[in-house]
Amino acid sequence: MSSTAEPKAKRVKSEPEPEAAPSSSEQPVEEASSERTAPSVNEQGEEYFELSAKKRFTVRKWKGNVLLDIREFYEDKKTEEMRPGKKGISLTNDQYKALKALILDGSIDEIVAKNGGEV
C-alpha cells in the first residue's frame, strides 16, 4: 500500500421516497394525553423511570442541587437488589433544559434519522 492512497468514501444510504400524506380526514387524531406515567420510587425516596430493564432516569438532589441521572443498573447477586453501576451521566437542571430544547425542536431526531436510526 502506498501512503498516498486516498481514504475510502463513506457509503450513503438512499432513503425511500416519502409517500403522499393522507388527507386530513384519513389522518389519525393525536390528542394530548393528560395522563402521565407515574414514576417509581427507590429506597432513598428518589423518583425514577425505567428506560429499559437495566437503565433508569432518576431525579435526585445532591448537595442542594437537582440532578437528572441516566444510569445503568445491575442486580446484586447477594441481595438480588438493583444497584447503580459505574456507567451513567448526571445532568444539572441547565444541562437538562438544553437537552430538552434539542429534543423538542427535533434537532436530535433529525440527526438520529439521518444516521439510520428509528425515530
**Contact (CB, 8 A) for 49 and 69:** no
The pTM score is 0.63
For residue 14, what pLDDT is reported? 46
For residue 33, what pLDDT is reported? 62
Query: Rounded mean pLDDT of 53-71?
Result: 95
35 band by pLDDT with thresholds 50, 70 and 90: confident
- ∠ CA 93-110-53, nearest 5°, is 60
Query: Which region holds residue 63: left if phi is over 0, alpha if psi is between -120 and 50, else beta?
Result: left
- Grid coordinates representing 86? 459505574
pLDDT tens-digit map of 52-61: 999 999 999 9
For residue 34, what pLDDT is reported? 72
Domains of the chain, first to last? 43-114 (2.30.31.10)
pLDDT tens-digit map of 80-109: 889 999 999 999 999 999 999 999 999 999
